[in-house]
Structure 1
Amino acid sequence: MEPNPYPAWLSQVREITQTPATRQAFEALKNAATPDELAIAAQKATAAVLADIAAEMAPLGSQANMPGFSNTPQPTLLEQLGFTQVSPMNGGVYHVRSNPTNGTAPVEYIALLYSPVPITPATERLQLFTQRVPDPLPIDVSPLQIQTHWHSLDARRLEESGLEPITVDLPAGAQLDTLQVIEYARPGEAGRIRYCVQLPTGDVVCYN
């Protein structure tokens, strides 16, 4: 194997890392001696840096125009699909847990309900994008940090990411012509807004 090529630029990258775990991950990457060690160390270092970035961006993810959500007693679309909400919704992004009925262990996901176009009374279906939360999680990565990262993404990019969405039928007879638009400030550059609506079921849907 040729000498590990990473140390030449690692010193520059490590200056921007924030946590001991991230610095440790880069140290392991620098010292990797075999292809297998290098692959594992690179994966851990990438996860650690993403966690640092997400943690830094989290305070920027506040709502730009956040009307109060209604607390409806009706079952939500997510619940009807077999998910239970684990933590508060953040910028249109959910942290949910599957609720299996076949005896298998529950699995946690980051999830986002999406409509390619604004919802109208003619809308029949939505898309639900999900990403399984790794178990075990990489060093210094939390579900909240993954959720925050999804909040920073342009929702339409999920269509281009290769994630296979679940098709979700809207409830029959739902009043969709009076939905109030919710604006979330996405983390990062100023002016990056995510547009959402809250359905009569209580579910929040992002759209282009």
Structure 2
Amino acid sequence: MATPRKLNVTFVEGDLPGRTGRLSAFVAQTPTQPDVRALSELLTDPRLSLYRESLLSELFASDLLATAWRTGYPPLEIARPDVDFQGYDFVITCAAITRHVQVKASAGKAAEVDVHRALVSKPAGCVVLILPTVSTDGTRIELSYRYFGTTAALDLAGFKPARNTLRSLGADRKPYFKERLMHVTVAVAKFTKATTMFGLLENLFDKPPTVT
């Protein structure tokens, strides 16, 4: 139980009719729970990469559904593949438009993003780059987004193959970075500028219809 703290309250003319003076009272003061860990650690610790990926996917889906509803889009349908081998993380449908979306995330200043080649075979395949930051008061994660794609089929021609981040040994015993045959590297500069979820929704599904 919190230790009571003595509080002096001074009544002035008008607070209580006909009463002036000083009242001593005791109030229970509940201590503020301090943060044990900073959210910035969650966004940058390499040991938490899978945990962070799952968290950001859930935050993205929540932001997508809530913002679409608030801004007048028809209710969205979201599906996720049981097996991740075609490059997309979400299938998102709004009315008659369906998008296959690969989601990437960067809490730093990544210059390039690896994009799956199979996206070119999907209807209006695209890539969303999530940019997570910690709010100024340190209590929540805020998201902005960059977008790569069009409403037509995704064109990945001309992009260089992506490479593994871990070295392999060649026949000559020299280390090299093996190519990832199903991925290409796309410069972040090819994405749209950072925007809110509403801006991302306009990229995915155009402007919302007029709500009556």
TM category (shorter chain) comes to under 0.3
Larger radius of gyration: 2
Higher percent of residues as strand: 2
Higher relative contact order (CA 8 A, sep 6+): 1
TM-score normalized by the length of structure 2:
0.23
Higher percent of residues as helix: 1
TM-score normalized by the length of structure 1:
0.23
